[in-house]
């Protein structure tokens, strides 16, 4: 845990600076060269951090002009989520719960989505689940989030996942795989209650496992 992910520290530094200097959405932030100077890092390293911020939609870069704080509203969303999660380690429970809120809602949305009724999606989905050893819990849930077709919810979920450490790690055990199958089946049959119930069971299993492994954080 010596110096992991320096560019993430820089992200934090930049955010602090922005807050201190009262830079508002739409404003220009200092140039890369000046930032590198002030933060005492190389310009390429700094650029890696800026790339991250850009991916998250926090900044916008315009060649020849400069780098600007994105005035998109999701700016504050990301901002709040990151500060909330980064500086308050008592709130992991809230993060986990909120992520579950979105996952459950996604399952329900899929059940209600008519256009997915006769989809080949499920075949490939199930096939990957059965055959692909690389198909992990993350992928399973992410697919569900995408299928829910609420991109905002997907984005929030994605951010929560980023910030909340590693929620779904470790081996996928057999009983888990069965539960995942059952969730799929329930969704296919449009059985909301059953799907959610199976999801809850799966989640409980994961929680237990996390406890057993002492995987807190």
Partner DNA sequence: ACAGTATGAGTGGTCTGACCACTTTCAAAT
Partner DNA sequence: ATTTGAAAGTGGTCAGACCACTCATACTGT
Where along the sequence are the contacts to DNA (CB under 7 A)?
2-3, 6-7, 29, 31-34, 36, 40-48, 50, 61-67
Residue with tokens 């922005």: 18
Q: What is the CA radius of gyration of the chain?
A: 20
> Considering the complex, what minimum distance in angstroms separates the CB of residue 207 from a second copy?
16
Instruction: Provide the angle, in degrees to the nearest 10, between the axes of the packed helices 174-188 and 92-112.
Output: 40
With CB under 5 to 8 Å by kind, the binding choice for 143 among DNA, a second copy, none is a second copy
59, 50 in Cβ contact below 8 A? yes
* Binding interface with a second copy (CB under 8 A): 4, 7, 24-26, 44, 47-48, 51-52, 54-57, 63, 71-74, 76-77, 80-82, 84-86, 88, 90-91, 94-95, 97-98, 101-102, 104-105, 109, 134-136, 138-139, 142-143, 146, 150-156, 158-159, 161-163
| Secondary element (H or E) of residue 130 | helix 121-131
Closest approach of a second copy to the CB of residue 38, in Å: 20
- 74: partner contacted, choices a second copy, DNA, none (Cβ within 5-8 A by kind): a second copy
* Cβ 130 to a second copy shortest distance, Å: 16
**185 CB neighbour count, 10 Å cutoff:** 15
Number of H helices, E strands in the chain: 10, 3
Q: Kindly tell me which of 140 and 202 has the beta carbon lying closer to a second copy.
A: 140
Sort strands 59-62 and 66-69 into parallel, antiparallel or unpaired.
Answer: antiparallel
Cα 171 to Cα 30, 96, 99, 143, distances in angstroms: 45, 20, 21, 19
- Residue 52 binds: one of DNA, a second copy, none (C-beta under 5 to 8 A by kind): a second copy
Nearer to a second copy, 81 or 186 (CB): 81
Binding at 212: pick from a second copy, DNA, none (beta carbon under 5-8 Å per type): none
SS3 88: coil
Out of a second copy, DNA, none, what residue 65 binds, judged by CB under 5 to 8 A for its kind, is DNA
Distance between CA atoms of residues 159 and 142, nearest Å: 12
Instruction: State CA 182 to chain mean position distance.
Output: 24
179 binds, among a second copy, DNA, none (CB under 5 to 8 A by kind): none
Give the position of tokens 């409980």: 204
Q: Which is nearer to DNA, 47 or 161 (CB)?
A: 47
């Amino acid at each position: 845990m010596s110096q992991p992910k320096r560019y993430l520290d820089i992200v934090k530094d930049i955010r602090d600076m922005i807050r201190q200097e009262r830079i508002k959405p739409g404003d220009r932030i200092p140039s890369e060269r000046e930032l590198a100077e002030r933060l005492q890092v190389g310009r390429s390293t700094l650029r890696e951090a800026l790339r991250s911020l850009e991916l998250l939609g926090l900044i916008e870069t315009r060649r020849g002009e400069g780098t600007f704080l994105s005035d998109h509203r999701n700016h504050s969303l990301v901002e709040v989520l990151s500060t909330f999660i980064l500086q308050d380690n008592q709130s992991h429970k809230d993060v986990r719960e909120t992520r579950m809120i979105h996952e459950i809602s996604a399952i329900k949305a899929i059940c209600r989505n008519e256009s997915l009724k006769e989809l080949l999606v499920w075949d490939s989905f199930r096939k990957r689940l059965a055959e692909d050893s690389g198909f992990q819990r993350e992928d399973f849930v992410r697919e569900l989030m995408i299928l829910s077709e609420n991109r905002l919810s997907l984005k929030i979920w994605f951010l929560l996942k980023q910030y909340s450490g590693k929620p779904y790690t470790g081996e996928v055990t057999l009983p888990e795989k069965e539960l995942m199958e059952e969730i799929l089946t329930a969704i296919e049959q449009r059985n909301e209650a059953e799907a959610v119930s199976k999801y809850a069971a799966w989640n409980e299993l994961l929680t237990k496992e996390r406890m057993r492994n002492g995987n807190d954080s």
